[in-house]
Amino acid sequence: MFNAISSGLGVGILPKFMVKDKCDLIEISLEDNPPPKPVYLVMHTDVRRSPRIRVVADYIIEIFERYRNSGW
């Protein structure tokens, strides 16, 4: 989605943390914020306890929790 929008293919909704350093994108103000969407992190049961997978999963969860209430 980010690549399509930044390539000029159209308008879309992106989290602010993805575009904060992208000067060529223009923010369009909306009267209302879009409704929140649930996000799921899915892992196969065979690998979800793998230390490498767990580190990545924990990092993804941390990013989403950090930006959840910051207006992204």
User: Are the C-beta atoms of 6 and 22 separated by less than 8 Å?
Assistant: yes
pLDDT recorded at residue 69: 66
Instruction: Supply angle C-alpha 9, 7, 1, rounded to 5.
Output: 70
Amino acid identity for residue 46 in this structure: D
pLDDT tens-digit readout, 23-60: 788 888 777 777 777 889 999 999 988 999 999 999 99
For the whole model, what pTM was predicted?
Answer: 0.53
Nearest partner of 18 among 6, 9, 7, 33, judged by Cα: 6
